[in-house]
Amino acid sequence: MKWSWKLGRFAGIDAYVHASFLLLVAWAAWAAFQGAGTGLAALLGVIFLVGVFASVLLHEFGHALTARHYGIRTRRIVLWPIGGVAQLEGEPRTPREELHIALAGPAVNFVLAALLFVVVNVAGLPTYGLLSSLMVANVTLGLFNLIPAFPMDGGRVLRAALATRVGGGRATELAVKIGKFAAAAFVVAGLFGNPVLMLVGAFVWFAAGAEGRRNPYAHHERADASWWRWSAPARRDVYRKRHRPRPRRPLYREPPNDSGRLVIFIRR
Ligand SMILES: [Zn+2]
């Protein structure tokens, strides 16, 4: 991994942090210092950020360990300033597997939030303290990633739900369309609110496009669809030649080698 440092190896999976993360740390310190004007505030700002990214790391391990349960290995986990990515070395074989792997990440955040809630209340900590903020951040992380903006977690949940009805190929096409619509909405929302949303929108847009282009199910499923019967015969022949019928495969097929799971973090 260029321009990144290894954080360590946990449960047999290497975790890295990208160098650009330092910019975010500097920004967090500066923003906190601007707010309160003390070095202590700046330090607390950085500690909070580290706490949030530790939560993101655990979220990614939620995906990675659930994927392992289904026999899919994780090449590495990388933390970027915008969020984390677990690079899985395969695709789930069934919609149910995809559903479980996608939900595992946000589930980790909700469990962390519940634990922090107990700690804050048992210890009687202040409502706006570090741990309370971290609790709110985890709820936010869990909910935000469940927005059905494919290829974010919620988008994968949506694809899994659609796949049981219309097949993996069509489900991917629909999920990509909805993902791009959501990405455009993020950009517009970013114009009026948090500018980071614009960055997230751009990222989701291109990530959705990339997933759509390597949609491994589209061709042979389309050859089975009925629309071409109504198109010109010549065109049908061209179509059939280009996409020769292949043997039926399971809904979710063998691994492309660059799939990832991403989690996105928005600062409140
Ligand atoms: Zn996730």
Å from CA of 172 to ligand 1 middle: 18
Average pLDDT for 160-189 = 93
* pLDDT band of 258, cuts 50, 70, 90: very low
> Which comes out higher in pLDDT, residue 117 or 259?
117
Average pLDDT for 61-88 = 91
Tracing tokens 């751009």 back to the chain, one arrives at 202
Catalytic site residue from 60, 173, 211, 221: 60
Cα separation, 173 vs 3, in Å, equals 34
Answer positive or negative: Cα dihedral of 187, 20, 255, 244: positive
Cα separation, 214 vs 194, in Å, equals 31
Average pLDDT for 12-29 = 86
Cα separation, 44 vs 33, in Å, equals 9
Cα separation, 112 vs 11, in Å, equals 19
Å from CA of 56 to ligand 1 middle: 8
Pairing of strands 13-18, 74-80: parallel
Least confident interval from 29-43, 58-72, 132-146, 249-263: 249-263
Q: What is the pLDDT of residue 224?
A: 39
Q: How far is CA 122 from the centre of its chain?
A: 33
Q: What is the pLDDT of residue 26?
A: 83
Helix (H) or strand (E) holding 132: helix 130-145
Two tokens at 99?
Answer: 């559903």
pLDDT at 230 over 50: no
pLDDT at 140 over 70: yes
Percent of the chain with pLDDT over 90: 47
Average pLDDT for 150-177 = 92
* pLDDT band of 217, cuts 50, 70, 90: low
Please tell me which of 69-78, 89-98, 119-128 the model is most confident about, judged by mean pLDDT.
69-78
Cα separation, 2 vs 191, in Å, equals 32
* pLDDT band of 169, cuts 50, 70, 90: confident
Average pLDDT, the chain: 81
89 CB contacts (<8 Å, ≥6 apart)?
A: 72, 73, 74, 75, 255, 257, 259
109-130 pLDDT tens trace: 999 999 999 999 998 888 788 8
Is residue 173 annotated as part of the catalytic site, yes or no?
no
Cα separation, 215 vs 168, in Å, equals 9
pLDDT at 215 over 80: no
Q: What is the pLDDT of residue 222?
A: 44
133 CB contacts (<8 Å, ≥6 apart)?
A: 48
The pTM of this model reads: 0.78
The answer to whether the beta carbons of residues 194 and 266 sit under 8 Å apart is yes
* pLDDT band of 204, cuts 50, 70, 90: very high
Å from CA of 105 to ligand 1 middle: 5
Q: How far is CA 236 from the centre of its chain?
A: 38
Helix (H) or strand (E) holding 8: strand 4-10
Helix crossing, 130-145 with 95-123: angle to 10°? 160
Å from CA of 32 to ligand 1 middle: 27
Å from CA of 27 to ligand 1 middle: 24
